[in-house]
Structure formats: structure tokens, C-alpha cells
Structure 1
Amino acid sequence: MVSKYCYEALDKCLGDIMRCSPTYSKDLPFGGKVVVLGGDFRQILSVIPRGSRQDIVHSTVNSSYLWKFCQVLKLTKNMRFSVGTTTSNQDETEQFGEWLLKVGDGLIGDNMDSESEICLPRDIVIPSSD
């Protein structure tokens, strides 16, 4: 995740560039240009040295003035799991993908003080060899 200040700087730069355009509107973000952002909000947050949890959350794009202009789209098919799978293990692969999404959404595990303990299914655990 990139700090919201990077997006806000891009917004101001594109606004300055597009100001000379006849289609420019100061009310539109990014100078009226469509900007596509990609990412997963369940992944790593931006790093704020010696920052508190509040500082880190406040630096994300969804706490920016630009967020009201964003439209969040969700992918419905995990393409990583569709590559190299055969029809015999397609169901198993789809179940694993659904399990991963549930872990990412926080639907699996015991939530204790913002930390979760997740039990892994036996079929994905590699036993240790001593």
C-alpha cells in the first residue's frame, strides 16, 4: 500500500497539467483523468517509522479526500488457482481458494485483541522431518 500522500500528489500534478485543457474541471480528481489502482486491502499497510496504529491507518488511501471518488471493484475468480489445475483436483483447488478468502476477510480464527489463531487443515500441512 502506498501512502495517501502519493495519490494526493498525483492528483495535484494531474490537476496542474490538465488546467489548460478545455475539458478541465476543478471538481474532478486527477484532472478529470481515469486512474486505475490495483491492490488488496488485506495485505501489507504502509510503513510509518515509530507510528502508532492510528498513524498507519490514517496514511492509507481510504482516509484521503480522494476516497469518495473511488469505486472499489472485487475480483471474482482467482486466476492463480486456475493455472495448472486438472479437472480431477478442480474442486479441491476451489475449496482452498475459498478458505484463503475467508482467512483474508477475518471469518476464520478466534479473534483475540486484533490477533487471530488459525488452525490449518491437515491436508495442507507438511509434517516436519526430524
Structure 2
Amino acid sequence: MTKLIIWDEALVTNKFCYEALDRTMRDILRHSYGCDGMKPFGGNTIVFGGDFRQILPVIPKGSRQDIVQATLNSSFIWPFCKILKLTKNMRVRSGSNDLNSAYIQRFIDWILKIGNEVLGDNEDGESYIDIPEEFLVPWISDPVTSIVQSTYPDFLAHFTSPS
């Protein structure tokens, strides 16, 4: 029987999805395994991964209040959640070389400043943020080709490699 479920990017999901999973697991585990039907998710551990600074659930034509009410922290499940914060960015640690790692670290620092509202003027609900030149994708001829070549510079040399 499963004891752990990891739900990545969970914070973009409507709270009704978590609540439906909770009810389903309580019912199944109570009837099939005699588990305590009062515990959230039938007593299983659920890891909800995500970043509250990123996008919230999308509610078509919803108001700000509708969107906030659709979030996990507006669910009856929220009081049972324990918040854990990651403190190390593993992508920086796995950089291929010092130059690449330094570039990635600068990019991550810039993104965090945006997420923490250190950059941008947000007095009226809108922000304009200058993107540093080093983070811009060089424009070759066609924007899609430029993005693909920038993201996967050695794609043609390695696309048949199983590794």
C-alpha cells in the first residue's frame, strides 16, 4: 500500500482536486484496509511541491477572490499541512563549469529578486522589469529557432544519443 504521494507544481491546481483526492483516499483506505477515515488522505503523506510566488490556479473569468479561494491554503486541508522550505538550489550545484555556474547563479539571483518583489515598481498592481542583456535570447532570424538554439545549443549533435 502506498504511503507517500508527491504532487509537483501542486499550487497551480484548484483546491477541489486535493479535496477530491482526500475524500477518495479516505473512502478507499477505510473500506479496503480499515484505515482511520478521519485522517487526511487516509493517513498517507502527500508532498505538495510548488512556489507561491508563481502562478495560482487559473479560474476562467474569475475574480481575484475566486482565484484566492481556489488555492490550497483556502482548503480545509491547509491546517493539516506542514510548510517546508528548500534552501539549496541544486541546479546551481550541478553546473557543468565555473563560468556556467556563475551565469546560472546570476540568473537565479535575478529571478529571486523578481519573486521577492525587490525588482520592479508594483505600486499600481503592474510592474515593468528590465531584463539584463546577458539573459536575453539572441535573435537570429526566427524567434522559435532562436529560443531552441539558445536552450539546446548542441541538439543536432546529440538528439540521437540515448544519454
Normalised by the length of structure 1, the TM-score is 0.81
Match of 1:46 in 2: 57
> How far apart in 2 are the matches of 1:13 and 1:19?
10
Match of 1:107 in 2: 118
Match of 2:73 in 1: 62
Letter in 1 for 2:36: Y
Identify the structure with bigger relative contact order (alpha carbons < 8 Å, sequence gap 6+).
1
> How far apart in 1 are the matches of 2:42 and 2:108?
39
For 1:62, what is the secondary structure of its paired residue? helix
Moved more, 84-93 or 35-44: 84-93
Match of 1:24 in 2: 36
Letter in 2 for 1:112: E
Letter in 1 for 2:45: V
Q: CA deviation at 1:96?
A: 2.1
Moved more, 12-21 or 87-96: 87-96
Percent identity reads 50
> How far apart in 2 are the matches of 1:40 and 1:123?
25
Give the alignment partner of residue 15 of structure 1, picking from 9, 14, 26: 26
Structure 2 vs 1, CA of residues 24 and 38 (structure 1 numbering), >3 Å: closer, same or farther? same
State the number of aligned residues: 129
Match of 1:98 in 2: 109
Contact 2:107 2:135 in 1 (8 A): no
Per-residue CA deviation, residues 31-64 of structure 1 (Å, 9 max, x unaligned), is: 1111122222222222212211110111111110
Letter in 1 for 2:60: P
> How far apart in 1 are the matches of 2:65 and 2:106?
35
Letter in 2 for 1:100: I
Give the alignment partner of residue 34 of structure 1, picking from 40, 45, 53: 45
> How far apart in 2 are the matches of 1:60 and 1:74?
18
Moved more, 113-122 or 78-87: 78-87
Q: CA deviation at 1:115?
A: 1.7
Match of 2:130 in 1: 119
**Where in structure 1 are there 5+ consecutive unaligned residues?**
none
Per-residue CA deviation, residues 4-56 of structure 1 (Å, 9 max, x unaligned), is: 00101111111112224444151x21111111222222222222122111101
> How far apart in 2 are the matches of 1:31 and 1:105?
36
For 1:36, what is the secondary structure of its paired residue? strand
Normalised by the length of structure 2, the TM-score is 0.67
